[in-house]
Structure 1
């Protein structure tokens, strides 16, 4: 019976820790310890357990804690809207704060891509990404991602359209799509818009089907090829979390 009481007490303390994040996004170990009135060693053990189950995640750079993606999985049944742009907005904001550039979410609609959500960079010089904007599927980082994982019939139609309307070499575009599937991401520099660059990764659903593309974009003189490659691990990780949240 005593063991049962201790187990329940541990659960209550873990829930108290989660409730610390109702009004704040990040907290240090000391701040959490003060909020729940427990010793740091006890809080640290509880945080380790919560982190192990992805209810809490720790930022290795700041050593601060925040809520983990597992809570999004649990809350999915409570969300009344099926709009992925609404569901994924907090994660997009998190990525924006991490990389410092504009974050966009795209889906494929026929032979076009549509921006369904965007989080603007906080920097003075930035890419303004209007929600609802439509772009062709044969140019740009997100287009490569959306087309690379589309049906062969869609790929063939878009490639033929690109050849006719823009004079693009079909073999070059096919190779880009193969590279995208192989690498798991795509980049573009001034392909669609002068002075702009972007890097994009796919968001997959439970069945492995592509749901959307996640993109980071900004001025080409700041978002260089080297800088984009540095951001790739963070973008792919965020895309993976988003796919989990949408399942």
Structure 2
């Protein structure tokens, strides 16, 4: 790429640098230059600016660059401004305590859902790949299907076409016609399931939540190892999670 003073392109390069470091961890100047397809002098100027603003630090021994915890501070500030977290937290804590399993709260974010809160089960807990701030595709998650089921079919198809559909596990649904069958089942039952579609060995049950605008832009889920999530257990958890959905939405309006 040729160097330029275009302010939009400069901003784009800065954010691409931040995203690259977030995805890969500590990187050297040449590594970043190659990954970003920019010459080293341009990358060096970007890094110096980010260092001056305390968003990037350089290891004096390895000379590699990495993000500082200031980025975490920004994400925490964003989360602290989300009133849904405050409203839902006591109810998802109760749901986790009653079910004995991990409960997630997510928010719709384009073609993904982003974890904005998580309550780990206090006992019998198994670590999962989910974490607050991480995004998960809508097409292969219970929370995603729960949110999508409240949308018109045309909107669902649009999101599907924008998504990078890949076979994450042997159970991932990759044909749109099959996916819509799952959406119809979700609409009939009032809840969605993730049958090891995103993570092998983990099943979950999820329901959508309406925000202040009356649209389903949030969802909660109960996740557990599949040996604790038999079909009979799912039916028991269904009553718990539907009750929690009602409690949360009743406190919004």
TM-score (norm 1): 0.62
Distance 1:239 1:125 in 2: 23
Find out whether 1:87 has 2:87 as its counterpart: yes
Counterpart residue number, 1:173: 179
Q: Which of 238, 247, 250 is equivalent to 1:241?
A: 247
Q: Which residues in structure 2 correspond to 1:155-194 (within 5 Å)?
A: 155-161=156-162, 165-166=166-167, 168-194=174-200
Post-superposition offset of 1:81: 5.1
The alpha-carbon deviation at position 85 of structure 1 amounts to: 1.1
* Shift of residue 222, structure 1, vs aligned partner: 1.1
Aligned match of 1:143 = 144
Alpha carbons of structure 1 residues 141 and 164: separation in structure 2 relative to 1, 3 Å: closer
Aligned to 1:6: none
Q: Which residue of 2 aligns with 1:120?
A: 120
Structure 1 residues 244 and 205: alpha-carbon distance in aligned structure 2, compared to 1, 3 A threshold: farther
Change (3 A) 1:207 1:135: closer
Give the Å deviation of 1:206.
6.9
**1:196 lines up with 2:202 in the alignment:** yes
Residue matched to 2:103: 103
Corresponding residue SS for 1:221 = helix
Structure 2 unaligned residues grouped into runs of 5+: 1-79, 168-172
C-alpha offsets along residues 138-186 of structure 1, whole Å, 9 cap, x if unaligned?
Answer: 0121111111113444311232356854471111101111111111101
Q: Given that residues 205 and 234 in structure 2 are in contact (C-alpha distance below 8 angstroms), is that contact kept between their aligned partners in structure 1? A: yes
In 2, the alpha carbon distance for the partners of 1:164 and 1:122 equals: 34
Take 2:220 and 2:107, find their aligned partners in 1: how far apart are those partners?
9
Say how many residue pairs are matched: 168
Task: Give the whole-Å Cα distance in 2 for the aligned partners of 1:239 and 1:87.
Answer: 11
| Separation in 2, partners of 1:219, 1:164 | 24
Is the CA contact 2:191–2:206 (under 8 Å) kept in the aligned structure 1?
Answer: yes
With normalisation by structure 2, the TM-score equals 0.61
- Kept in 1: contact 2:111–2:163 (CA 8 A): no
Is contact 2:203–2:224 with CA below 8 Å preserved after alignment? Answer: yes
Gap regions ≥5 residues in structure 1? 1-79
Deviation of 1:245 after TM superposition, in Å, equals 1.0
8 Å contact from structure 1 (residues 102, 127) kept in 2: no
The answer to whether the 8 Å contact 1:118/1:131 transfers is yes
The one-character-per-residue Cα deviations of 1:46-77 (angstroms, maximum 9, x if unpaired) are xxxxxxxxxxxxxxxxxxxxxxxxxxxxxxxx
> Which secondary structure state, in structure 2, belongs to the residue aligned with residue 150 of structure 1?
coil
